[in-house]
Structure 1
Amino acid sequence: MLNYVARRLLLMIPTLFVISALVYVIIDLPPGDCVTSQIDELLSRGDPDALRRADELRHLYGLDQSLVTRYFQWVGGIFRWDFGLSCQDTVPVKDLIGERLGLTMVMETSTIAFIWIVSFIIGVYAATHQYQVGDYVASFIGFVGLAVPNFLLAIVLLYVGKVYFGLSIGGLMDPEFIEQPMSWAKFVSISQHLIIPVIVIGTSGTAGMIRRLRANLLDELQKQYVTTGRAKGLPPLKLLIKYPLRHAINPFVADIGHLLPEVISGSVIVSVVLSLPTTGPMLLGALKTQDVNLAATFLLFVAVLTVIGMLVSDLLLAVLDPRIRFGATSEK
């Protein structure tokens, strides 16, 4: 297994290199650059020095160099934790993503934990109580979660919380803690404000995983080895955990690598609606203004988490299912 992990880690290097190159090129493809909108604003004001200012800004951001040169300068700076300058307020990217990145990690981790726990409990219950009231309720939750967009659910909760309960749902903490260092009071405030975003963002992912786990477990429960186990007198809970659940959970665990980018992409619009100080709104703004360094840094971060999630899911699959062997070859 150590050899397999080492190979996968080495494979991550060219994978992330290709992803970063594609992301950087695609963001830079549309006509214009991050200076264009700033210069258009100066020209609309009748500023006679707008064109000179444009040349200065392009030189400051390195936009007067070729795309290949800018890309390799950005990649080289990553190893020094230097992601270049952002066109937003002309500050280093690392200064912009500091606290937002931490809050985003907290929110995404909480959302993924919510999805796993809720979908596992409801999926197992629905499969073991087929065609009962709990099964119909779980199916209803699944259909609603898949059908209702996250941003629409966020708007509904904003309205209900404000009108009927007098609650301020927006943001990830109370206003007095925004510029304050971390403390117990700030931690409690963040935890309270996380509840609504986690539910909103996790609803669609939970719905899909409930349906998949229920279908897989129902298929396993109908197999002959389960009938044999019942005939031998195995307790229902022991029989469920030891055999069919271990097999049915494989696709559930395999979704770890795919779940993270889905959660992050789904949280962008929700973060805008709920005014969350995460990387979502900043990423959206960076893409709109062609802030290549800022947008590419965020997307590379997502790619790193995705490949790590795929590795973790593969390792967990090997632990859960002894039939999986790394590097094994079939023998006739």
Structure 2
Amino acid sequence: MFTFLARRILIMIPTLFITSVLIFTIMKLPPTDYFETYVAELQAQGEKADLGRVEFLRKEYGLDQPATTQYVRWITGFFKGDFGYSFEYDRPVSDIVGERLALTILVSFLTIILTWVIAFPIGIYSATHQYSIGDYGLTFLGLLGIAIPHFLLALVTMYFANVWFGLSIGGLMDPKYFNQPMSWEKAQSILSHIWIPVLIIGAGGTGSMIRKIRANLLDELQKQYVVTARAKGLPPGRALRKYPLRMSLNFFVSHIGDILPTLVSGAELTAVVLSLQTTGPLLIRALQSQDMFLAGSFLMFLALLTVIGVLISDILLALLDPRVRLQGGSTR
């Protein structure tokens, strides 16, 4: 196990390096940077830009230096906790992301918990009652959740909430609490608003996980060791929990690599539609405005979480399933 962990951690280093180079290269591909776009927008509106301040900021953050120098400065600052400066928001990146990160994690965490709580019993029931009326009905609902995009479901929900109840369900809190420190009243406002995006975002994920649990469990239930266990008189519930259910969870454990970045990024389009104060709309806006430090640091953080999540899922998969080998080589 120690050799396995050491090898995987060593692989993470070149992976993150190549990822950082790709992210920085993509951020530098546009022919203009944030300041040139900003000056052009002001001139198009008939306003005068402070060119002196623009040149000062360009030199202050090394945008007038070669690309290799900019990359070294950016990546070394990232590992020191200095994620750069957001030109659009005129604040350090860490301050901007920190305000929304907690809300994003809260929404994503509750969505994942809701998905697991609903999907696991339904998936197990559908697999153990294959081709029954309940299986067909639950399968239809799962496919419906997969087929309807999150943002479309959000638009429909907002429309009917306004038409039927006269309510505006956008946002994660009442407008008066924006940019205010956390308080009991603000927490109550968040709790009263958060269940709507959780239900909307979790709809598609629940349907997808139901299908995966059903398919994997059905595959295990048809194997010979399950037939043998039943023939020996093992109770159905125990025969299900002992091996088939455990083996069918391999996909679930391997999915952990995607969960960590999802906790931080959230559902971007749905967040834009519902006007959620999460990090997804922030990333989209940073990419649109070429705010390179904000967008680049955010993407690099997601890449780091992805690599860590894959490492965790590999370790858990090896512990869950003894058929997974930690070392290569021929099997005797």
Paired letter, 2:157? L
Look up the match of 1:320: 320
How far did 1:259 drift? Answer: 4.6
Residue 187 of structure 1 aligns to a residue whose secondary structure is: helix
Q: Residues 133 and 321 (structure 1 numbering): CA distance in 2 closer, same or farther, change over 3 Å?
A: same
Runs (4 or more) in structure 1 with deviation over 4 Å come to 45-54, 259-266
The question of whether the paired residues in 1 share the 8 Å contact of 2:101 and 2:264 is answered with no
Residue 63 of structure 1 aligns to a residue whose secondary structure is: coil
Look up the match of 1:132: 132
Paired letter, 1:59? K
RMSD between aligned residues: 2.3
How far did 1:234 drift? Answer: 1.2
How far did 1:257 drift? Answer: 1.3
**TM-score of the superposition, structure 2-length normalised?**
0.91
Q: Residues 4 and 182 (structure 1 numbering): CA distance in 2 closer, same or farther, change over 3 Å?
A: farther
The question of whether the paired residues in 2 share the 8 Å contact of 1:268 and 1:280 is answered with yes
Paired letter, 1:8? R
Residue 329 of structure 2 aligns to a residue whose secondary structure is: coil
User: Tell me, which stretches of 5 or more residues in structure 2 are unaligned?
Assistant: none
Count of matched residue positions in the alignment of Structure 1 and Structure 2: 332
The question of whether the paired residues in 1 share the 8 Å contact of 2:104 and 2:263 is answered with no
Paired letter, 1:41? E
How far did 1:327 drift? Answer: 2.4
**TM-score of the superposition, structure 1-length normalised?**
0.91
Look up the match of 1:306: 306
Look up the match of 2:277: 277
Aligned partners of 1:131 and 1:331: how far apart in 2? 39
Look up the match of 1:91: 91
Answering whether residue 234 of structure 2 is matched by residue 234 of structure 1, we say yes
Paired letter, 1:118? I
Look up the match of 2:66: 66
Look up the match of 1:296: 296
Look up the match of 1:258: 258
Paired letter, 2:203? T
Q: Residues 136 and 101 (structure 1 numbering): CA distance in 2 closer, same or farther, change over 3 Å?
A: same
The question of whether the paired residues in 2 share the 8 Å contact of 1:256 and 1:309 is answered with yes
How far did 1:180 drift? Answer: 3.6
Look up the match of 2:26: 26
How far did 1:76 drift? Answer: 1.3
How far did 1:260 drift? Answer: 4.8
Q: Which range moves more in the overlay, 122-131 or 177-186? A: 177-186
Q: Residues 248 and 48 (structure 1 numbering): CA distance in 2 closer, same or farther, change over 3 Å?
A: closer
The question of whether the paired residues in 1 share the 8 Å contact of 2:108 and 2:266 is answered with no
Aligned partners of 2:47 and 2:216: how far apart in 1? 66
Paired letter, 1:292? M
Q: Residues 91 and 124 (structure 1 numbering): CA distance in 2 closer, same or farther, change over 3 Å?
A: same
Q: Residues 10 and 112 (structure 1 numbering): CA distance in 2 closer, same or farther, change over 3 Å?
A: farther
Paired letter, 1:44? A
How far did 1:51 drift? Answer: 5.2
How far did 1:279 drift? Answer: 0.9
Look up the match of 1:196: 196
Aligned partners of 2:149 and 2:266: how far apart in 1? 9
The question of whether the paired residues in 1 share the 8 Å contact of 2:105 and 2:264 is answered with no
Look up the match of 2:36: 36
The question of whether the paired residues in 2 share the 8 Å contact of 1:24 and 1:296 is answered with yes
How far did 1:264 drift? Answer: 6.2
Residue 97 of structure 1 aligns to a residue whose secondary structure is: helix
Paired letter, 2:281? P
Q: Which range moves more in the overlay, 287-296 or 58-67? A: 58-67
Paired letter, 1:308? I
List per-residue Cα deviations over 1:53-105 (Å, max 9, x = no partner): 54344334432112211111111112331111112132211111111112112
Aligned partners of 1:143 and 1:265: how far apart in 2? 25
Residue pairs, 1:72-151, within 5 angstroms: 72-151=72-151
Look up the match of 1:9: 9
User: Tell me, which stretches of 5 or more residues in structure 1 are unaligned?
Assistant: none
The question of whether the paired residues in 1 share the 8 Å contact of 2:108 and 2:262 is answered with no
The question of whether the paired residues in 2 share the 8 Å contact of 1:201 and 1:263 is answered with no
Residue 34 of structure 2 aligns to a residue whose secondary structure is: coil
Identity of paired residues, percent?
Answer: 54
Aligned partners of 1:8 and 1:55: how far apart in 2? 44
Aligned partners of 1:276 and 1:49: how far apart in 2? 32
Q: Residues 183 and 288 (structure 1 numbering): CA distance in 2 closer, same or farther, change over 3 Å?
A: same
Paired letter, 2:122? I
